[in-house]
Amino acid sequence: MEAHSLSKILYIDLDNKRYWVKERPELFKEWLGGVGVGIKLLIEECPKNIDPLSGENPIIFAIGYFNGIYPLASKTIALFKSPLTKDLGESHAGGRCGIAIRMAGYGAIVIKGSSDYPIYLVINENGVKFRDASALWGMSSTTAVGRILREREGTPGIRSIMRIGRAGEKMIPYACVITETFRTFGRLGLGAVFGSKKLKAIVISGRDSLKVKDPRGYRSIYDELYNSFIKSGAMKKYHDIGTSMNVMSLNLISSLPVRNLQKTKFEGINELSGEALAEKFLGRRIACAHCPVSCIHIAALRIPYENEPYFYKIKMIPYDYEPIYALGCMLDIRSAEGFLKIMDRVEELGLDAMSTGVILAWATECMEKGIITTKETDGLLLKWGDYKTYIEAINRIVEMKGEFYEALSKGVEYASSKYGGKDFALSFGGNEMPGYHCGLATHIGFLVGMRHSHLDNAGYDIDQKLNAEGKKLSPKEIGKMIFEEESWRQVLSSLVVCFFSRKVYTPEVISKCFSVIGIDINPSQLKEKGIEILKEKYKFKVREGFSLEKLRIPKRILETPTPQGVLKEEDIREGIMEYKRLLEGGY
Ligand code: SF4
């Protein structure tokens, strides 16, 4: 297959268990692939105002021209209507799925309808097989499901296995999809959409290879990229400690949310820092396919068998900065073992770690303030640092045991509208807060970002640079910077490259990379395309009822000081309005 020919879309109809392939090269040429193609397909396939948990909600997986060709182009984009925010659902995952989809010959996969019994899909270059998953439905561990499918579906080529756990089956709106055991489509509830379709898993594999138009030019640009990533040492920090290096640095600058953002200094820092975890628990590092960096850190936790002295099982548990923040610092867990055990349970059940931690932190503060008692929690006393009780609460959330846990299972925005405590319910546009409290740009970024994620526009990064240089920018300037960064990130998400590579994949480098595979696009055309894609995403959100003016700003972020001092609501609103002005055409 030629590297510049990305055109096949695989459509799968779960209602009738049939599939077909359409050639749409013009869609990829115009929208680059990945999130660009994905948002166009979502607008085509998702009827307005549907229930996100109905069969009408499509799941779109999309990859880009760089997958399988260039280093760190290792991600897959999933788009759907989110059951959590009720507007745009977008999630990115690494692992092997991006390369597997490409090697199977597809640029995108659209899954529609729902099955009337549990199924899993086996996809390769020859098409799709619909297999009965009744025996897998209800299994308590996503790891076990992966193991069974690995043995049962031993297909040749590059293979990826996506699956949901109990949380997805129960349609918890912040359930995730696990891929390759240690990677996830984490945010905004893709797992619940799988569950609503009775889709337990997807096994996808491919054996194709890619040809480039200018092999000599390709070799030269590839070497240039490789040297920038590896020989320069730019990515060494990701390899050595991984994203969990942020725990120490954010704590140092008082930007680490602790105890539901009641404070920003963590007393368990010596146990839960990336350095401490690497020293005491690091079992192995792994990489997404076609990535020489290998930033994924896996802890090895030794767990003794009950009543069996000197017998242990070793649990391999992935950890990153965000889960440490949400399931560690936010809950004030000061023991690494305690944090890893919560993390393990969250992975087994297939929940989004960030949403889960933020929801439990809110519930703990509610109990602290007497808003709820053990009557609501059915006897559980939620206490900061008590990991065993948190694990039990997580089990009850997934099984929706009683009214209170059912409310928690719907997210912190819903639970706080039912029980109170809205001022300290840390949700942005309906999505639970990421782990940064660095200043004004951070929170404007969470609020306006199309996914309400730190990854949309990295406002936290703007703040960290400003804080380090002792500079200040006006809310308007911040709104503009966020708009520019988020627009540009649409290009990266269309190729689809890992954001850790963003300093290497500049507009000029991307343009050169395109040229050796036979596609002409210059840096300013790329930037324009990013803006167009962002506008399409915004269009979808507005269509589904989203409004930048009506965003709720949690009071807690205005109470706990950031390194820039206490934030003002009017500054945040001004930054949002500038972003809106630019997005709606005034740039
Ligand atoms: S840097 Fe890490 S997350 Fe990014 S592609 Fe490589 S292994 Fe995956």
CATH number among 3.40.50.2000, 3.60.9.10, 3.40.50.10420, 1.20.120.1780, domain 8-206:
3.60.9.10
With a CB cutoff of 8 Å and minimum separation 6, the contacts of 1 are 105, 208, 209, 210, 211
* Whether the predicted pLDDT of 587 surpasses 70: no
Ligand 1 centroid, distance to 296 Cα (angstroms): 7
* Whether the predicted pLDDT of 586 surpasses 70: no
Backbone angles phi, psi at 144, to 5 degrees: -65, -40
Ligand 1 centroid, distance to 1 Cα (angstroms): 25
Ligand 1 centroid, distance to 465 Cα (angstroms): 23
Instruction: Give the closest residue (by CA) to ligand 1 atom 8.
Output: 288
CATH number among 3.20.20.70, 1.10.599.10, 1.10.340.30, 3.40.50.1780, domain 438-586:
1.10.599.10
Instruction: Give the closest residue (by CA) to ligand 1 atom 4.
Output: 498
With a CB cutoff of 8 Å and minimum separation 6, the contacts of 54 are 114, 196
pLDDT digit string (tens) for 167-214? 999 999 999 999 988 899 999 999 999 999 999 999 999 999 999 989
Q: Please check whether residue 324 is in contact with residue 272, taking contact to mean a CB–CB distance below 8 angstroms.
A: yes
Identify which of 240, 294, 297, 493 to mutate to test ligand 1's pocket (most ligand atoms within 8 A of the CB).
294
Backbone angles phi, psi at 130, to 5 degrees: -105, 115
Query: How far from the centroid of its chain's Cα atoms is residue 281's Cα?
Result: 24
Nearest atom in ligand 1 to the alpha carbon of residue 75 is 5
Q: Please check whether residue 342 is in contact with residue 390, taking contact to mean a CB–CB distance below 8 angstroms.
A: yes
Instruction: Give the closest residue (by CA) to ligand 1 atom 2.
Output: 295
Nearest atom in ligand 1 to the alpha carbon of residue 499 is 4
Q: Residue with structure tokens 């400003």? A: 466
Ligand 1 centroid, distance to 377 Cα (angstroms): 39
Residue 517: is it exposed, middle or buried by C-beta count within 10 angstroms (0-12/13-18/19+)? buried
Beta bridge partners of 22: 9
Helices and strands in the chain, H and E counts:
25, 17
Beta bridge partners of 428: 431
Q: What share of the chain is helix, strand, coil (3-state, %, to 5)?
A: 45, 15, 40
Ligand 1 centroid, distance to 324 Cα (angstroms): 18
Parallel, antiparallel or unpaired: strands 108-112 and 8-13:
parallel
User: 422: phi > 0 → left, psi -120 to 50 → alpha, else beta; which?
Assistant: alpha
Q: Please check whether residue 184 is in contact with residue 178, taking contact to mean a CB–CB distance below 8 angstroms.
A: yes
Q: Which amino acid is it at 284?
A: R
Q: Which of 42-51, 222-231, 369-378 has the lowest mean pLDDT?
A: 222-231
Alpha-carbon torsion (504, 507, 509, 513), positive or negative: positive
* Whether the predicted pLDDT of 237 surpasses 90: no
Q: Please check whether residue 40 is in contact with residue 502, taking contact to mean a CB–CB distance below 8 angstroms.
A: no
Q: Please check whether residue 510 is in contact with residue 494, taking contact to mean a CB–CB distance below 8 angstroms.
A: no
Q: Please check whether residue 493 is in contact with residue 190, taking contact to mean a CB–CB distance below 8 angstroms.
A: no
Q: Which of 129-138, 304-313, 382-391, 526-535 has the lowest mean pLDDT?
A: 304-313
Q: Please check whether residue 184 is in contact with residue 176, taking contact to mean a CB–CB distance below 8 angstroms.
A: yes
Q: What percent of the chain has pLDDT over 70?
A: 100
| Mean pLDDT, residues 480-492 | 98
Nearest atom in ligand 1 to the alpha carbon of residue 498 is 4
* Whether the predicted pLDDT of 482 surpasses 80: yes
In the chain the first and final C-alpha atoms are separated, in Å, by 40
Average pLDDT of the residues of the chain:
96
Six token digits for residue 484: 């520019």
Residue boundaries of the structural domains of the chain = 8-206, 241-431, 438-586
Nearest atom in ligand 1 to the alpha carbon of residue 94 is 8
Six token digits for residue 87: 């507007």
Strands (E), 73-157: 76-81, 88-93, 108-112, 119-124, 127-132
Instruction: Mention the CATH class of domain 241-431.
Output: mainly alpha
Distance CA 422, CA 371 (A): 11
Ligand 1 centroid, distance to 295 Cα (angstroms): 6
Nearest atom in ligand 1 to the alpha carbon of residue 291 is 6
DSSP string, 230-279: IIT-TTHHHHHTGGGHHHHHHHHTT---BTTTTBS--TTHHHHSHHHHHH
Instruction: Cite the DSSP H helix spans in 310-435.
Output: 321-323, 336-349, 353-368, 387-399, 403-408, 412-419
Identify which of 236, 293, 320, 321 to mutate to test ligand 1's pocket (most ligand atoms within 8 A of the CB).
293
Nearest atom in ligand 1 to the alpha carbon of residue 294 is 7
Ligand 1 centroid, distance to 526 Cα (angstroms): 23
Residue in 534, 539, 535, 512 with CA at minimum distance from that of residue 523: 512
pLDDT at 232: 74
Burial 375-395 (b: 16+ CB within 10 A, else e): ebbeebebebbbbebbbbbbe
pLDDT digit string (tens) for 111-163? 999 999 999 999 999 999 999 999 999 997 888 888 899 999 987 889 999 99
Q: Which residues line ligand 1 (CB under 6 A)?
A: 72, 74, 94, 238, 287-288, 291, 293-296, 498, 500
Identify which of 92, 228, 238, 455 to mutate to test ligand 1's pocket (most ligand atoms within 8 A of the CB).
238
Beta bridge partners of 59: 111
Cis preceding-peptide flag for 496 (omega within 30 of 0): yes
Ligand 1 centroid, distance to 288 Cα (angstroms): 5
Ligand 1 centroid, distance to 555 Cα (angstroms): 35
Query: Dihedral through CA 562, CA 568, CA 570, CA 575, nearest 10?
Result: -10
Ligand 1 centroid, distance to 51 Cα (angstroms): 34
Q: What pLDDT band is residue 265 in, cutting at 50, 70 and 90? A: very high
Instruction: Give the closest residue (by CA) to ligand 1 atom 5.
Output: 72
| Mean pLDDT, residues 51-65 | 98
Identify which of 63, 66, 72 to mutate to test ligand 1's pocket (most ligand atoms within 8 A of the CB).
72
Six token digits for residue 321: 């900065």
Does residue 315 sit in helix, strand or coil?
Answer: strand
pLDDT digit string (tens) for 550-576? 999 999 999 999 999 999 999 999 999
With a CB cutoff of 8 Å and minimum separation 6, the contacts of 314 are 283, 300, 301, 302, 303
Beta bridge partners of 298: 284, 318
| Mean pLDDT, residues 240-244 | 94
Parallel, antiparallel or unpaired: strands 76-81 and 8-13:
unpaired
Q: Please check whether residue 362 is in contact with residue 421, taking contact to mean a CB–CB distance below 8 angstroms.
A: yes
Nearest atom in ligand 1 to the alpha carbon of residue 72 is 5
| Mean pLDDT, residues 431-449 | 98
